[in-house]
Structure 1
Amino acid sequence: MIHVAIISHGHEALLIDSKIGGLLTEHEDLTIWIKDNKPAANLKAYCAQHQVFYTDADAGLGFGENNNYLFDLIQKKSGFQADDIFLVMNPDITVTAETVFALTEKMQQSGQALATLNLYRDLAMTVPDKNIRHFPGMLSIIKMPLVNTFSETYDKDRIAGVLEDIPVEWASGAFLAFTPALYEALGGFDPDYFMYFEDVDICYRARRFHQQAVHYYPHLKAIHTAAHKNRNIFSKHALWFFHSFSKFLLRRYLRTNSAYSGKKSASSPT
């Protein structure tokens, strides 16, 4: 079973217009779980009409904590089987069910615990999304004003056309597929990151403490119409971004210089 977790924060029109990111299907091996952070009656009605699980409980949680909430809810309501996949997906992703099944099938065949696919910024799939990157370090603060990015991106053109997976350091939380066993071992996303860098952190912990890299599949594609609200340096999103950036760098330094095991409760900050 593939369990798709989607957090809506005023994205009801987008989700309805896109037919839940293109994933409305009668396939019995795929279920969609939506947590509405800004409760919308029309989204609730739409989900009821199409047999999509919907909850607006505990509105106001951060990105990571919302996904942890859905993971725990799935465990309580249906439980996870050994070959299940927990897929974290943004409401602004559009993908086919066939692509999702292809990714999870490759994960299962290869025994991979964490994977992503090739995201694009436009419908024609000509503008690549920079969803795979190297981990930022202390030098990133110095380089950031010069290169206009907080971490080095992988060159997708150099790996285009590859049919096998490529291990990368971290991938955007806009689309991340986990085995439930790894997600549980990690304690899920660290809820101490309200927004931004929770994806960097969870990929870092998976790699450092569980020897699980993110596996990137260039030939499996989806669309990501990201807003990048953190680009305005005077916005609250920018404040969240730089606060989380600093937190990750500090914690990476401390973890590098300590015996921290990497396993934690999903409800307890590191």
Structure 2
Amino acid sequence: MITLSVVSHGHGSMVDDLMRDLARCSEVTRVVLTINVPEQGPAVPASLSDRTVVLRNAKPKGFGANHNAAFAHCETSHYCVLNPDVRFSDNPFPALLACLKDGAAMCAPAVTNPTGEIEDSARYFPGFVGLLAKSLGVADGRYWYAKGDPPFHPEWVAGMFMLFSSADYAALGGFDEKYFLYYEDVDLCVRLWRSGRKILLCPQATAVHAAQRASHRQFRHLAWHQASMVRYFVRHWGRLPATEGQR
């Protein structure tokens, strides 16, 4: 039913923890784990071993390239992109699959930090005014909602947890691999809305994310972030699609 893609960049024990969570989700019929940098193999639970494909890259690939390559192993009706630092105590997939039946091409759960606070994983499309407001601490462009609220249509959701109809992912061509890291999720959501498809945020499903915020600490990640932001604005500024994302 679901092929799930996870990419490890030396995440080690985080991947081991996530694999134990996934072993309890019967909807996940295949896990494609991409080892992007040299590291020890994952500890795959016995109940998940026959559902797991491990890919090892000769050299590191970008976020989109890795998940597009994993999609080549997808033979299921749904495809899920998941960060290795995501955890869940309750299975989120039944609620997410139910949301997709409402005609959306992609959906995502409510994402919390480890203390239970809702993260800013569902946002309005970035704009110059919004980026200025964020830099000044006035607003960060997020949608405000609570766990258990009715599903709604955000403009974009972060790539830490995305569940797609496989047919729609293929029709979009997956992620734009010219974004090495950052903004490829925003770009995909712009293209999804522009194609006439819809995104849903399903607060009935939850996941926990321990954000790394590497672009705040490492120069290389900051450079990738800025380069991707420039590419996004050059490509989409002034040409953003109409959405059902207003609340």
For 1:145 and 1:26, how far apart are their aligned partners in 2? 39
Cα 1:254–1:19, aligned 2, differ >3 Å: closer, same or farther?
closer
Q: Which residue of 2 aligns with 1:180?
A: 166
- Sequence identity percentage: 26
For 1:250 and 1:54, how far apart are their aligned partners in 2? 36
For 1:229 and 1:19, how far apart are their aligned partners in 2? 20
**Residues 7 and 33 of structure 2 are in contact (CA less than 8 Å); yes or no, is this contact kept in structure 1?**
yes
Q: Which residue of 2 aligns with 1:161?
A: 148
Match runs of 1:167-206 below 5 Å: 167-206=153-192
Question: What is the TM-score with the length of structure 1 in the denominator?
Answer: 0.80
Q: Which residue of 2 aligns with 1:102?
A: 95
Give the Å deviation of 1:12: 1.7
Give the Å deviation of 1:112: 1.9
Question: What is the TM-score with the length of structure 2 in the denominator?
Answer: 0.87
Give the Å deviation of 1:253: 2.6
Give the Å deviation of 1:173: 0.1
Q: Which residue of 2 aligns with 1:262?
A: none
2:108 is equivalent to residue 116 of structure 1: yes
Give the Å deviation of 1:213: 2.5
Q: Which residue of 2 aligns with 1:243?
A: 227
Tell me the alpha carbon deviations over residues 61-117 of structure 1, each in whole angstroms, 9 at most, x when there is no partner. Answer: 00011000000233xxxx34xxx1100000001125732132113313x13211001
For 1:97 and 1:103, how far apart are their aligned partners in 2? 12
Q: Which residue of 2 aligns with 1:34?
A: 33
Q: Which residue of 2 aligns with 1:10?
A: 10
Give the Å deviation of 1:137: 1.7
Cα 1:145–1:211, aligned 2, differ >3 Å: closer, same or farther?
same
Q: Secondary structure at the match of 1:98?
A: coil
Cα 1:48–1:60, aligned 2, differ >3 Å: closer, same or farther?
farther
For 1:11 and 1:192, how far apart are their aligned partners in 2? 24
2:81 is equivalent to residue 88 of structure 1: yes
Q: Which runs of 5+ in 1 are unaligned?
A: 258-270
Give the AA of the match of 1:152: G
More helix by share: 1
Give the Å deviation of 1:47: 3.4
**Residues 95 and 204 of structure 2 are in contact (CA less than 8 Å); yes or no, is this contact kept in structure 1?**
no
Give the Å deviation of 1:30: 2.6
For 2:83 and 2:69, how far apart are their aligned partners in 1? 15
Q: Which residue of 2 aligns with 1:266?
A: none
Q: Which runs of 5+ in 2 are unaligned?
A: 242-247
